[in-house]
Structure 1
Amino acid sequence: MLVHKFLIRIEEERGRLLHWAPLFMGSGIGLYFGLMTEPTVPVYVGLTALIVICAVIARIWPWGIGPLATAIGLMAFGVSLAGARAHYVAEPVLGFRYYGPVEGRIVNIDRSQSDAVRLTLDQVRLDDVSPASRATMVRVSLHGDQRFLDPAIGQRIALTAHLSGPNGPVEPGGFDFQRMAWFRGIGAVGYTRVPALLLSPPEPGVNLAVSRMRQAISAWVRGVLPGETGAFAAAITTGDRSAMGRPTIEALRASNLAHLLAISGLHMGLLTGFIFQATRMLLSLWQGVALRFPIKKLAACVAILSGGFYLALSGGNIATERAFIMVATMFVAILFDRRALSLRAVAMAAIIVMTLHPEALAEPGFQMSFAATTALVAVFGWLRDRTRDDRAWRAPKWARPALAVVISSFVAGLATAPFGAAHFNQVSHFGLLANLLSVPVMGALIMPLAVLAALLSPIGLGWLPLKLMGPAIDWIIGVARFVSSLDGATGQIPAPPDAVLPLVAVGGIFATLLKSRARWVSLVPFAIATLLWSQVTRPPVLISATGGLVGVMTKDGRALSKPRGESFAALSWLENDGDPADQETAFARTGFTGAKGKMRAALAGATLIHLTGRGAGDRVTDACASADLVVLSGKVTIPAPPGCVLLDRAGLAKTGAVALWPDTGRFIVETARAKSGDRLWTR
């Protein structure tokens, strides 16, 4: 009986299989990234056969088991697609630590977490490194005196840098930078403290012409609007955030306004929507055109072209490409006389994005963009259907725009909150207030003025709209600083277990797509996700991949073994703990005893000693005499005593970061390498 009802329910949903396709396709992609070993050729052959069999079944029996076969086939396709993409982007990864001369061409300029200028180089040359081992693209942070170089896209430069392959997670199961770098083609990362020198100016040609134009526009915008105002304007017009100050960025993040900096769905939607409406209005004023041509479709074509130009101008990153695909899909729906804002259009956009960049599924931008878009389309679709009922309440016309802003901000914030909290370990308690005060200004003033500046710049009047844009930008920055300064503006959230976000996504899709009482099924994955997240337990001991930093959990939070150094790992651990403390505060906590260079921690009957500094390898025997585990930031120079458990730099280089769980005088060990598995990007 239950099976029969289940098949009937599937048959009812058969007409909306496109809406469900992203769920099954994304499940396959997620399954690929969750594997512990890389699939072999026979596995892909088997998946291909399964896809063909499922397609045949779906064709022969479009009812009953047909939709089930389609779902299974889409999952197999997702696994195969992600695997094909991972092999397609494969580039050499530097397999050792390199110090020496580096030459390359600048293809991107941004800033590191420490606010240093960071250059991405291609056409790389390394001294005495064979082409088979040489990374084709490297990313280098510039420290020290760098007054000899004014970086520009297309320049060929030389510098002396420390390089290594991209690092793995700072803790088992943490953010996998290795995987992200693999899909972006970055084979080495590092830094330099000596001046970088210009070898040759940008070469003429179209290869990097758009990037150079982007940089020139960014410089022009900052010249018209100095300071943080101009940096904000450059960020939203060209995607160049290199001039943004760290305090402003932190204020925007704490007030949940950081999305205004990223050229994503909001900017692309505001820009193309404004151009669509403006073009349609202008064409309607021309009577001969309005009566003879479909001006709505012409306006949609202009909007698509403007979105494509905005995509190229902003650097063509994945987030902007995703936003362009979303808006382009909706305008194409207009060309085919279909409803632009529909769940079908959102599903099509998700399928296209996952086909082009399956790795985007694991990124917060993808998850938050589609969560917000899906929720907004579903809620406003429901409201539209409700207003067709003559008995339904309708807001006064004068209040509808403001009410729409309130509803959209609330719905988008609610839909993206779990994903933002999981990825960034932070919740903005006054984010709704900040968005209500800022998003209307962004849509009504800033984006239209940006379009006007682009139209007037060829005749030398582009500066005028930019000047008018300045006060509006200052308003948004002021709102961010005010909201972020309020007591309790942000709350810290510990990192959730791996299963939480997939469960939240499934629950959201069920709530959106299922009808009537069946929608209550969505509460099941939501409840499981909430329970798992509420019961999360952070590792009592964390050890960095170099052995240079150890963190132990105490009743006051995680205590760190040193106040400075390895700050990325330290801050990542604290953020994942849901702990707002900085590294120095965490070091001052009661957790470690002893002098510098030999820190001791006792947990559950086990003793850990952390040796650092010069000559640490010579002190192993003494440390082993009074500890169950010794962590060493260098290499062992003398044989360790029998029975001494030792983690040194050489061993940690093979295992990656380590999490320890004390258990009656011993430690249960979990390594980052074991958690990540044997994948293309970990080899």
Structure 2
Amino acid sequence: MRWGAIAFLVGILILQSLPELPGRGWSAAWPAVVLVGITVPWLRLLAWGSAGFLWALLLAAPTARLPAALEGAELSVDGWIAALPEQERRSVRFEFMVANARKGERPVLELVGQRLRLAWWDEPADGEERAVESNPPLQVGDRWAFTARLRQPRGLSNPGGFDYEQWLYAKGIVATGSVRRQPLPQRLAVAERYPVDRYRARIAEDFERQLPENPFVGVLVALAVGEEGGISSRQWEVFNRTGIGHLMSVSGSHIGLVAGMVFALFLGIWRRVPELALRWPARRAAAVAALMGAGGYTLISGLSVPAQRAFLMAAVAMVALIIQRPAAPSRILALALLAVLLYDPAAPLLAGFWLSFGAVAAIVYSTSGRWCERAWLSQTVGLQLKLTVALLPPTLIYFQQFPLLSPLANFLAIPWVGCTVLPLSLLAALVGPVSTALQTFLLELAALTMAGLWQILLWLEHWPGAVLSWPGPPWWTLLFAVPGMLLLLAPRGLAGRWLGLPLCLPLLWPPLPTPEPGGFWFTLLDVGPGLAGVIRTQHHVLVYDTGPRLGAELDAGRAVLVPFLRRQGIRQVDRLLISHADKQHTGGVRSVLELMPVAEIATASLEETPIAGAKRCQAGQAWQWDGVQFQLLHPPETGFTADDASCVLQVVGPAGRLLLPGDIETAAQTALVAGYGAELAADVLVAPHHGHRDRVTSAFLDAVRPRYVLFATGYRNRFGYPRPDTVARYQATGASLLDTGYEGALTFQWTPDQPLLLERHRREHRHYWMAP
């Protein structure tokens, strides 16, 4: 069973790694594979793996999600709010289950029964009422009619960045879009579906009403009903930097605690009532109650993967107790793994799956047959250290950083949350219908205890070296790291435990390729409608612009640029060059400066881009790194303003040339041609002003003579960049045109005596769930 569950998981992982899905007809072989596994023992593991592959293929969502003709078109849809809406500063986002869809008078059957993720923006024109507030608030389970404009479930595609498309696929969302303000949305019915989610929403509303303006109400809501939208980005940053983020959302420890509390309560009550104790054994009755309590909490928590895993494990243990057949912890874990994979083969796509099952597997492996009640304190500390070691691989792979204070923070926070914040939050949720005053008292007490923990976490966060940033290791390092972890966590008496350390070295110090002397690499990142580029030589790094803001609390620096730098093993930026004061170029500056050491900063306008320690970039400035020449060609000291004053950077090495012109327009281009002429030649040109209409001159293109022209526009951006007439002008040069919005991050590698290499991240790291 145990090896079979692992083989089943491996089969699913093989399917999830494919760039395209095989024919779905292959899944018809699943019953035959299962029969082979039952009747042919020596093929059993292979059969388990094949069964996992075919099962994932059978349940995989279709890859043709939104027909091209419907993308960008206005559709009339009606259906149900399918999850708790997420309220943001200027919008509300929600999942929507489609009941009917039409384009004009034609039904769109492809969307019926599918799940969408929509945004309702609050951007009224002057003199108009605020659209979001003029309608009833969105409530889960209500039926609404909207006019929506949809697009493929597409996200930014960068090395080290968050895979938004994978996240959407794992949640079963087939398209994203926005609600149109006209015609006005209409609520058709109230509370038609999703009664459990309506109950969760009611609890969240009660908490927010009882604790208005309290900074920790979002944490209490997350612990009670699994809705994490109320936790601020600053709170998540502190939780993750101290390694206790798992405690702020419903996870295995919470489900286990609830099951344990209910079991102990019913066991005590049942034993004290002779009539009940004589009718049925107290332990079996308590097991039934614990199973129901854990199941109820799992339901109201939103059925997250950690909660599912914990409930299934608790269910197996309680059923074994009820039928009086003891089950080994490892067998319980294997059954829970199989149940989660059968229910949702896409679960392994989420980091929470690996963190959850990895933590429990480490506990089972570390304590089975080795736990001594008399030494519980020292063993608890040791177990926390072992958990930290065991979770090192998934933490580095998914987040490229590791909280070194995690053992200490968890040693304090686990009992603190488990014995105070969580029980008080759950009691407050239960007593709400009975007594508002009692609910308020419990919530205030829970918030007070959370505030005390918060102060300790802030103190820990400010310790020097609290978080270790590390390059993201490649997946092949797990082939060595997993056996190494098993050796390191093995009993002390096992010979050869020391071999675990060298096996983990590729994970901790993965090979990091760098440019050769005289060579340089340039990556134009996919940041949406904005610009962010990274130039690397053998020992130096330059960042050119930092992209736009991506929301009220997120920007391209935090979401794209810094994760990319960490993935490459870069620990310092030698020079940050901000081309000009435009929000599409400066949106991530603050995050880069907060999260990454920066040696030098330069910008075109110190007045419009006030950055401490920044210097003015100016034509004539030049330097050399590792045999590669960098020169600023523009702007001169006076004569240009706004976009035309962008810092223009030329990079020249033995293998080729690169030109980054910022957002310069016709006047600056004319001046550059007059001043440099054929010296502007470049293999790669980043298109000025993202391909805006009439912002590039023929003389400038004739002087540059690019082999590649790169656009940084964003997929189906609202500006319509690059404009068709601009594209035609660039095509006339004979250059190859590439757009990060469609290709993802673009990386060019110049190496002496080697041809120019190009990597298109979306194409070369494609998975079957990615939109074309």
Per the normalisation by structure 1, the TM-score is 0.82
CA distance in 2, matches of 1:512, 1:19: 19
CA distance in 1, matches of 2:335, 2:526: 42
Residue of 271, 274, 280 corresponding to 2:261? 274
CA distance in 2, matches of 1:196, 1:407: 62
Could you tell me which residue of structure 1 aligns to residue 169 of structure 2? Answer: 182
Give the letter for the 2:360 counterpart: T
Task: Trace 1:181-200 onto structure 2 (pairs within 5 A).
Answer: 181-191=168-178, 199-200=186-187
Give the letter for the 1:629 counterpart: Y
Could you tell me which residue of structure 2 aligns to residue 92 of structure 1? Answer: 65
CA shift, 1:301, in A, is 1.2
Residue of 623, 631, 640 corresponding to 2:731? 640
**Are 2:685 and 1:609 equivalent residues in the alignment?**
yes
Task: Trace 1:199-238 onto structure 2 (pairs within 5 A).
Answer: 199-200=186-187, 202-205=189-192, 207-226=193-212, 227-238=214-225
Could you tell me which residue of structure 1 aligns to residue 397 of structure 2? Answer: 422
Contact 2:11 2:50 in 1 (8 A): yes
Could you tell me which residue of structure 1 aligns to residue 14 of structure 2? Answer: 31
1:527-570 C-alpha deviation (Å, 9 max, x unpaired):
44345x35366974134286843422345645134553567655
Could you tell me which residue of structure 2 aligns to residue 7 of structure 1? Answer: none
CA distance in 2, matches of 1:238, 1:196: 35
**Are 2:131 and 1:40 equivalent residues in the alignment?**
no
Could you tell me which residue of structure 2 aligns to residue 494 of structure 1? Answer: 471
CA distance in 2, matches of 1:465, 1:476: 17
Could you tell me which residue of structure 1 aligns to residue 407 of structure 2? Answer: 432
Contact 1:169 1:176 in 2 (8 A): yes
Consecutive unaligned residues in structure 1, runs of 5 or more: 1-17, 59-65, 389-393
CA shift, 1:663, in A, is 3.0
CA distance in 1, matches of 2:423, 2:82: 30
Helix, strand or coil at the partner of 1:78 = helix
1:415-453 C-alpha deviation (Å, 9 max, x unpaired):
223212221222222222222222111122233334443
CA distance in 2, matches of 1:657, 1:112: 30
Helix, strand or coil at the partner of 1:383 = coil
Q: 1:243 to 1:469 in 2, by over 3 A?
A: same
Could you tell me which residue of structure 1 aligns to residue 457 of structure 2? Answer: 480
**Are 2:371 and 1:371 equivalent residues in the alignment?**
no
**Are 2:434 and 1:459 equivalent residues in the alignment?**
yes
Q: 1:488 to 1:346 in 2, by over 3 A?
A: same
Could you tell me which residue of structure 1 aligns to residue 128 of structure 2? Answer: none
Give the letter for the 1:363 counterpart: L
Higher percent of residues as helix: 1
Q: 1:214 to 1:266 in 2, by over 3 A?
A: same
**293-302 or 503-512, larger mean C-alpha shift:** 503-512
Helix, strand or coil at the partner of 1:108 = coil
CA shift, 1:520, in A, is 7.2
1:288-332 C-alpha deviation (Å, 9 max, x unpaired):
433552211211111111121112212234443233223222322
Give the letter for the 2:761 counterpart: A
1:253-295 C-alpha deviation (Å, 9 max, x unpaired):
2222221221111211111121112221222222343355221
CA shift, 1:237, in A, is 0.3
CA distance in 1, matches of 2:500, 2:23: 36
Percent identity between matched residues is: 21
Could you tell me which residue of structure 2 aligns to residue 75 of structure 1? Answer: 49
Residue of 320, 339, 357 corresponding to 2:344? 357
**Are 2:574 and 1:574 equivalent residues in the alignment?**
no
CA distance in 2, matches of 1:631, 1:450: 52
Residue of 588, 592, 595 corresponding to 1:583? 588
CA shift, 1:50, in A, is 5.5
Contact 2:147 2:183 in 1 (8 A): yes
CA distance in 1, matches of 2:6, 2:260: 28
Could you tell me which residue of structure 1 aligns to residue 97 of structure 2? Answer: 122
CA distance in 2, matches of 1:240, 1:678: 29
CA shift, 1:348, in A, is 1.4
CA distance in 1, matches of 2:53, 2:503: 23
Residue of 520, 526, 530 corresponding to 2:504? 526
CA shift, 1:35, in A, is 2.2
CA distance in 2, matches of 1:233, 1:76: 43
Helix, strand or coil at the partner of 1:647 = strand
Q: 1:196 to 1:414 in 2, by over 3 A?
A: farther
Helix, strand or coil at the partner of 1:147 = helix
Could you tell me which residue of structure 2 aligns to residue 305 of structure 1? Answer: 292
**Are 2:700 and 1:622 equivalent residues in the alignment?**
yes
**Are 2:313 and 1:326 equivalent residues in the alignment?**
yes
Could you tell me which residue of structure 1 aligns to residue 768 of structure 2? Answer: 679
CA distance in 2, matches of 1:115, 1:517: 61
Could you tell me which residue of structure 1 aligns to residue 750 of structure 2? Answer: 662
Contact 1:446 1:469 in 2 (8 A): yes
Give the letter for the 2:164 counterpart: F
Contact 2:140 2:201 in 1 (8 A): yes
Q: 1:286 to 1:349 in 2, by over 3 A?
A: same
Count of aligned pairs: 639
CA shift, 1:410, in A, is 2.5
CA distance in 2, matches of 1:437, 1:377: 22
CA shift, 1:646, in A, is 2.8
CA shift, 1:641, in A, is 4.7
Give the letter for the 2:450 counterpart: I
Q: 1:152 to 1:601 in 2, by over 3 A?
A: farther
Helix, strand or coil at the partner of 1:151 = coil
CA distance in 1, matches of 2:698, 2:483: 51
Contact 1:329 1:345 in 2 (8 A): yes
CA distance in 2, matches of 1:330, 1:412: 22
CA shift, 1:661, in A, is 2.5
Could you tell me which residue of structure 2 aligns to residue 249 of structure 1? Answer: 236
**517-526 or 572-581, larger mean C-alpha shift:** 517-526
**362-371 or 671-680, larger mean C-alpha shift:** 671-680
**Are 2:115 and 1:137 equivalent residues in the alignment?**
yes
CA distance in 2, matches of 1:235, 1:666: 53
Helix, strand or coil at the partner of 1:553 = strand
CA shift, 1:630, in A, is 2.0
Give the letter for the 1:93 counterpart: L
CA shift, 1:344, in A, is 1.5
CA RMSD in angstroms comes to 3.8
Residue of 701, 707, 710 corresponding to 1:631? 710
Give the letter for the 2:544 counterpart: L
CA distance in 2, matches of 1:477, 1:528: 36
Contact 1:496 1:536 in 2 (8 A): no
Bigger relative contact order (CA 8 A; separation at least 6) = 1
CA distance in 2, matches of 1:423, 1:272: 30
Give the letter for the 2:343 counterpart: L
Per the normalisation by structure 2, the TM-score is 0.73
Contact 1:90 1:185 in 2 (8 A): no
